[in-house]
Structures are given as C-alpha cells and as structure tokens.
Amino acid sequence: MKIDYETVPDLKPALGLIVLQADETLEQDMRRLMPGRVELHTTRIPSGAAVTRETLAAMATRLTGAAALLPPAAQFDCIGYGCTSGAAEIGADKVADYVRAGRSTAHVTNPLTALIAACQDLSIHRLALLSPYVADVSVKLRDALQVAGVATPVFGSFEEPEESKVVRISATSIRAAAQELAAQGDIDAVFLSCTNLRTVDIIDEMEETTGLPCLSSNQVLTWHMGQLSSYDADIPGVLGRAHSLT
C-alpha cells in the first residue's frame, strides 16, 4: 500500500565543513561553538598521516570530490575547508574554486582566510605564531600572512609531523609554548595554528595571562563561517566579544 505524505518547507541555509581524514578536533569544536543553531553537514578529505608540503598539496585534487559528497539538495550559505596549512599551500582562491566545482555555495572559507579576516577585524598586524608542524610546512602560511599585511615576527613549533600525535599534544604544553612566544613581545596577538590542535578551551585563559588577543584555527574558522552566513556562534576570546557587540 502506497502511503501519501506531506512535505515541509526547505530547511534554513546550511553550513558545509570539509574535515581532514586525520582530524579529530575541528568538527567537535565547531558543533560546540554553534550548539543547536546550525544545519552543519560534514564531509572528509583524504589526508596524509604525516603533514608535509607534498601531502598538503595533494589535497588540491581531492577537494572537489570531498565537496561533492555534501548533501546535493542542501542550500549552503558557506563551506569551510578545515586546514590552515593546506589552504596556504594550495592557495585560498584555488581552494574556493575546487570546492565550488563540487558543490554550490554562496561562500567558501578556510582557517587562513578566516585568520586574515579576524586580524583585520581586530586591527592585528603582528602575530606570535605557534605551529605543531615542521618549520618548512609553516613557510607558506607565514608568507601568505605577510602578503595580507600580517607579520609573524615571533614563531615557534612543536616540530611534530604526525597528525595522530598533534591532536594529543596537551593543553599544558600548548599553553606554556604560547606564553613563551607571547613573552617575546612586540606583537599584537597570538595565533595557535592547526585545526587538529586542541586550543578552544585555553583561549580565554591565554588572553588573561598574556593580555593579548588569542586566536586559533578552529575559533577563527567558526567565527568567519558565522560572519559569512546567517548563524551566530559562541566564539571565545576577544574575537567573540567584539563580534557580540556588532
């Protein structure tokens, strides 16, 4: 027996998130920062177990396929590609082109583009940058920031190439490293790079102890996707407080 049914109006515009295969942090953070307010759809992109410039660049050919796995009937306000170093290696414009080739969306962003937007919003021009990865992976990121008018005169890294180890770096180690970099002075803010690094819970504390804005990949990406769409988010730190006043 065939049973008739009624349909409901289209759901509100959605957010899409392309998460690295090895990432254990980003999706959880974004759902925490946008609790119950967002139609968030995620897809995964193959990524290397070790982070090198070669494994980052290889994601370029996989972005369109990953985006195509997002629900085709959903109407996307914004799709975020969740890799800071990958966006720097591939190029933000190319990332957007690859994503749009797989799924229609009003906006595309990534942590690098989001960080630049956050720095502009907060009038930040000089960052202390903490990276988990080997130094040559961060070269493209620092160069891209420099082109955008954001210098990184203070830089430090855990020099850890393996993603499975990056996600397990303790909050204590992240906090201590960031405070050490901040203490070098002559900076406007601290940036904790990498979507797999667990940083959201220490942002407010970092700002209290250093007296500086603290930004992180997952924080700025969630903030920027909210800015580009119809959603609000509970963003920690000065960035969130500045947003709540607009």
Residue 93's beta-bridge partner residues? none
Residue among 30, 155, 140 nearest 89 (CA): 140
pLDDT one-digit tens code per residue, 44-60? 999 988 899 999 999 99
Element spanning 87, H or E: helix 84-90
Amino acid, single-letter form, for residue 243:
H
C-alpha to C-alpha distance for 188 and 242, rounded to whole angstroms? 16
pLDDT one-digit tens code per residue, 76-112? 999 999 999 999 999 999 999 999 999 999 999 999 9
CA 1 vs. chain centroid, Å, equals 49
Residue among 181, 66, 187 nearest 131 (CA): 181
Q: What is the pLDDT along the chain (246 residues), one digit of tens a residue?
A: 999 999 887 777 899 999 999 999 999 999 999 977 789 999 999 998 889 999 999 999 999 999 999 999 999 999 999 999 999 999 999 999 999 999 999 999 999 999 999 999 999 999 999 999 988 889 999 999 999 999 999 999 999 989 999 999 999 999 999 999 999 999 999 999 999 999 999 999 999 999 999 999 999 999 999 999 978 899 999 999 986 544
Contact 218, 107 (CB under 8 A): no
